[in-house]
Amino acid sequence: MESEEFFVPSGIGLGAVGELLGHAALPGLLFLLTGPMGSGKTSLAAGVARGMGITSRIASPTFLYLQSYASSGGPSSLALLHADWDRVAPGSEDLEETLVAGAEDRVTLVEWGEKLPDSLVASFSLRVRLLLSIPEDREGRLLKMFWDPATDRPEDLRLMRRTVRTLLDDRLPSLRRKTKN
């Protein structure tokens, strides 16, 4: 799986990176966010929503599990389904069905994405895993993006990845990046 690693300085913030990901988001996309408590998953999610043109306040859906946001008519007409899978019990069929129902017509973002069953992950035609970590000095954040090549839409995945790279280079050139294949 191809990946890219970034150091996101505190002065930039994960919301700015999320906005660029939101600008590039395509229908049917699943963002899986993984990282410890306080690593910035919800800040990144709020940025994705802003980048998609969603003006609603984005909060952690910890106690709601799933929160849907309609498009505000910005750069994208896509809706966002924001989920928190941290406390979801395995086999929660109602939540699982809601997560995949209509997925091809929106963007889905799951915090604690590592807890999402592989069978559900495979239901999405485009997948990007975002791993957040906190450096030892607690300054900034480390972000690894994993572009899942196991898709029936490889051209769309390549397009999105190129778009994200271009946006990051143009708008956030101070991010330090290391690409891995």
> Which of 16-25, 41-50, 83-92 has the weakest average pLDDT?
83-92
Question: How far is the C-alpha of 15 from the C-alpha of 67, rounded, in Å?
Answer: 18
pLDDT at residue 75 tops 60: no
Q: Does residue 94 belong to any structural domain of this protein?
A: no
Query: In which domain, by residue range, is 143 found?
Result: 2-86+101-175
At residue 104, φ and ψ (nearest 5 deg) are -70, -15
Predicted TM-score (pTM) of the model is 0.91
Q: Does residue 92 belong to any structural domain of this protein?
A: no
**CATH code of the domain in which 60 resides:** 3.40.50.300
* Mean of all residue pLDDT scores within the chain: 89
Q: Does residue 96 belong to any structural domain of this protein?
A: no
At residue 127, φ and ψ (nearest 5 deg) are -140, 135
Q: Does residue 152 belong to any structural domain of this protein?
A: yes
For 106-165, what is each residue's pLDDT tens digit?
Answer: 999 999 999 999 989 999 999 999 999 999 998 999 999 999 988 889 999 999 999 999
Q: Does residue 159 belong to any structural domain of this protein?
A: yes
Q: What is the pLDDT of residue 150?
A: 86
Chain length of the chain: 181
Higher pLDDT, 104 or 61: 104
Question: DSSP string of 154-167?
Answer: HHHHHHHHHHHHHH
